[in-house]
Amino acid sequence: MKLIRKAFTLIELLVVIAIIGILIGLLLPAVQKVRDAAARLQCTNNLKQIGLAMMNYESTYRMFPAGYLDNLSINPMNPAATSNPDPVIGWGWGTLILPYLEQEPLFKSINVNSIAMNNNSAGAVAFRKTVIKGFLCPSDDTGLNTFTINGFELAKGSYAGVNGQGELADFDSAFGLGMLLRGRGVSISEVTDGLSNTLFVGERSSKSAKQAVGMLPGICTWVGALPGGDLDGESPALYILGHTGDITDPHKPNTPQPDGFYHAEDFTSKHSGGVNFLFGDGSVRFITDSINGQTWAKLGTRAGGEVPGDY
C-alpha cells in the first residue's frame, strides 16, 4: 500500500525558509536603492522650487532675500566690536519667499516687518511651528517635524543658506561673503563670481544635531534666527544659514569633527555620498563628499574672484 505525504518534511521546510531568506536579502538592497533615489529626486525638486521662488523674489525686489531680517537701525553693526547683539526680528529667507512657494496665506498671517521672531502671540506661535513639506528632505524623516530651542517650538527644515566661508557669529553673518546675509539682500550685480559658480542653499540633515542637547531632530528650520537661541555659543543664524569654511580650513559636506559630531553650521545629508545644492543660477547639483576642499570653499563666495575648478 502506497503512503501519501500530506506535508513538508522538516528539512524541506528549512530549505524553503532559507531560499526565501536569500531572496529577501537580495531584494531589500534593491528596494532601498529605489527609495533612496526617489528621496534624492524629491529633495532635488524641493531645491528647484526654492530656487524658482528666490528668482521670483529677486524679480520683485531687484535683490535676493536677506538671510534673515534685522533692524540694523536699532542694532547697528559696529566693525570695531568683537560681537553684536541678537537680531530684533530675525525672520529668515524661508519666511520671505513663502508667497512664491504658494504659501501666501501663511505669510500674510503675521506681519514680519513688525512682529519679532520671538513674539508670543498666538499667530506667531502657530507660524513658527508650521511644517512645510517643501522644506523637508524625505531622506531625513525622523518622525519629529518640530524642535524646541530656548522654549520656542520651531518647524524643522532640511535646507540652510550659504552665508560664506566664515563662522556664523552675529558680527560675521552681516558681512558674509556668500549669498544670504544678516539684514540685507544681495543683488545679482554683486555676484561677480557668476551665479552658476556660487552656492546658494544646501542640505542640512538631522545628523548635524548635537547629542549634547538631546539629539534634536535637526539644527535647521525655514522660519528664522531665534533671538537668544544660540547653541553652544554659536550664532542664532546657524538655524537657517551655514558656511563652507575657508581654503585653509574647509568644512566639506558630511565631514564630522574629530570628536565624531558634525559642526552645527556645516552641510550634511543622509543621501549616499554627498549633498544636494542649489546654485545661484537656479540649478541643483549633487556635491560629493570627496570634493576638493579648496574648490568647496571657493564656491562659498559670491565675489572672491576665485576659479573653483572641476567638481
Indicate whether 194 pLDDT > 60.
yes
* 188-192 own/partner pairs: CB under 8 Å, 24+ apart: 188/58, 188/63, 188/64, 190/302, 190/303, 191/280, 191/302, 191/303, 192/302, 192/303, 192/305
Question: What would the mean pLDDT of 159-186 be, rounded to a whole number?
Answer: 86
Where is mean pLDDT largest: 20-34, 167-181, 211-225, 245-259?
245-259
DSSP 3-state helix, strand, coil percentages of the chain (rounded to 5)? 35, 15, 55
pLDDT top residue among 45 and 217: 45
Sequential DSSP letters for 13-48: HHHHHHHHHHHHHHHHHHHHHHHHHHHHHHHHHHHH
Reduce the DSSP state of residue 88 to 3 states and report it.
coil
Q: How many CB atoms lie within 10 A of CB 2?
A: 3
pLDDT value at residue 213: 52
pLDDT value at residue 79: 47
pTM score, whole prediction: 0.84
User: Facing residues of 91 across strands?
Assistant: 224
- List all residues 6 or more positions away from 77 whose beta carbon is below 8 Å from its beta carbon: 84, 171, 174, 175, 183
pLDDT value at residue 84: 46
Q: Which three cell numbers stand for residue 271?
A: 543621501
- List all residues 6 or more positions away from 155 whose beta carbon is below 8 Å from its beta carbon: 128, 129, 130, 131, 132, 135, 145, 146, 221, 222, 223
- List all residues 6 or more positions away from 213 whose beta carbon is below 8 Å from its beta carbon: 231, 232
Where is mean pLDDT largest: 98-102, 141-145, 252-256?
98-102
Residue recorded with cell 537661541: 229
Question: What would the mean pLDDT of 217-231 be, rounded to a whole number?
Answer: 75
pLDDT value at residue 216: 55
**Contact between 121 and 145 (Cβ < 8 Å):** no
Residue recorded with cell 544660540: 230
E strand map for the chain:
146-149, 152-155, 159-164, 199-203, 241-243, 245-246, 249-250, 274-279, 284-288
pLDDT value at residue 207: 79
pLDDT value at residue 48: 97
Task: Give the span between the Cα atoms of 277 and 295, in whole angstroms.
Answer: 14
**Which letter, b or e, does each residue of 147-181 get, where b requires 16 or more Cβ atoms within 10 Å of its Cβ?**
bebeebebbbbbbbbbbbbbbbbbbbbbebbbbbb
Reduce the DSSP state of residue 68 to 3 states and report it.
strand
Reduce the DSSP state of residue 172 to 3 states and report it.
helix
Indicate whether 73 pLDDT > 50.
no
Helices (H) and strands (E) in the chain, counts: 6, 9
Q: Domain residues of the chain, as ranges?
A: 27-298
Q: Which three cell numbers stand for residue 155?
A: 518647524
Residue 156 has φ and ψ, to the nearest 5°, of: -70, 145
- List all residues 6 or more positions away from 80 whose beta carbon is below 8 Å from its beta carbon: none
* Model confidence pLDDT, tens digit, residues 275-293: 999 999 999 999 999 999 9
pLDDT value at residue 27: 65
The mean of the pLDDT values for the chain is 83
